[in-house]
A = this chain, B = another copy of it.
C-alpha cells in the first residue's frame, strides 16, 4: 500500500460507520479516475469530453439494423478477427500486430498490466492523461513524472534515463501539443530496453502517427481509439498496434482476464466504420477546419493556447480566470472541462464541436468578456 492508497483507505474508514467489519480488511482501496461529467438533456452544448460532434459512418447504422438477435446467443469471436483484419488492412499491418479492447482505456490498462513489471519507475509527463497514475497505483507499478517544458511541450531528453517503461499521449492531453515524429523516435532510440507506449487517441486530427516507426522498433506500442475521430465512444472500441511479440503478450494477459471482451455489435460496427474511409476523412477534416477557425477567434478574444493538433483546445484568458469562465459557461448549459491541478488550473479544455456549437460558445465568450461590470454584479 503506498501513501496515496493509505490516505484513501483512511478516508474510507472515516466515511463509513462499519469500516471495522472483518471482511473489509482485504479490499483493494484505490482513488478512481473521475470521468468528465455526462450531463443529460436536450438543449446543452457538450464540449467537455472530446467526443466527435458528427455521427459515425452510415455503415454503422446498417450493421445495427441488420443484426439478428439470434446472432447474440453465441459467444462472439474471442479474437474479434473481422475488426482486427479491417484495422490491419487499414494500417498495412499484419493481423498479428493488432490488439483490440473495450475502448483505449481497456487497452492501455492491459498494457500497463502486461508491460510495466519492472522495479524501476515508469515515466510519463507531469501534465498528461490523468488515468496513467491511476493504473500505476491499481497495479502497484512505480512511476515518476517528467515535467513538461514551460510551453507544455515534451523534452525527449527527460526520458533518457533508467526506467521501467515510457508512456505519453501524442498529441498530449489536455494540452493538444504534438511531438514531432523525429522526437518520438529520439525517445525510442534511448529506450530500447523497455516498452514505449505512444497513446494516439487524438492522432487523426492533424498529427503524424508513430505507426510508421513500428517496422524499426519492436518495443513500440501505438494505442488508438474509436471514441474520438471515429465518433463511436458509445461502442467502446480501442486498439493497440505493435510487433507480434508485444501483441501476443497482451493477448495472453487478456485471455487470462476475459476471453470475450468485444461484443458482436462492436466487432461488426467497428469493422464497417474502418472500411468507410471516405466518410472518416471528411468528418475529421471538418473538425480540423472548425478548430483552426476557433483558434483565430479565440486569439482575437485574448486567449492563449498551445497549437493543438487534437479535437480540443487548451485555452487560458489573459485576464479572466478559468474557473470563473467554466462556471459562467456552465450556467448557460455550455460544458467544457476544468482541471484543478497544478500548472493547469488557469486553463479550460474545450472540445471542438460543430460550427454552430463553436459559434454559440464564441458569442457567449465575446459578450461575457466584453461586460466585466455586468459580470461582477452577476457574480455576487
Q: How far is the CA of A163 from the CA of B322 in the complex (A)?
A: 52
Q: A26 to B194, Cβ gap below 8 A?
A: yes
Q: B265 to A263, Cβ gap below 8 A?
A: yes
A interface, by DSSP: helix, strand, loop or mixed? Answer: loop
Knowing A35-B259, A255-B33, A258-B105 touch, does A118 contact B26 (C-beta < 8 A)?
Answer: yes
Q: A27 to B115, Cβ gap below 8 A?
A: yes
Q: B24 to A245, Cβ gap below 8 A?
A: yes
Q: B252 to A264, Cβ gap below 8 A?
A: no
| Smallest CB separation, A129 vs chain B (Å) | 12
Candidates B56, B109, B253; contact of A138 at CB < 8 Å: B253
| Smallest CB separation, A354 vs chain B (Å) | 11
Q: State whether the Cβ of A236 lies closer than 8 Å to any Cβ in chain B.
A: yes
Q: Which of the segments A44-52, A153-161, A175-183, A325-333 contacts the partner chain?
A: A44-52
Q: Which of the segments A61-69, A83-91, A207-215, A313-321 contacts the partner chain?
A: A61-69
Q: Which of the segments A72-80, A295-303, A341-349, A364-372 contacts the partner chain?
A: A72-80
Q: A236 to B260, Cβ gap below 8 A?
A: yes
Given contacts A35-B259, A102-B261, A263-B263, 13 further A-B contacts (CB under 8 A): A21-B218, A23-B195, A27-B195, A31-B256, A32-B253, A35-B75, A46-B74, A49-B75, A53-B73, A60-B69, A64-B67, A72-B234, A102-B260
Chain A positions within 8 Å of B, measured between CB atoms, are 16, 18, 21-35, 38, 46, 49, 51-58, 60-61, 64-65, 67-78, 102-103, 105-106, 109, 113-118, 134-135, 137-138, 164-165, 192-195, 218-219, 227, 231-236, 245, 249, 251-266, 269
The 6 nearest A-B residue pairs measured at CB: A32-B255, A22-B193, A23-B219, A234-B264, A72-B234, A55-B70
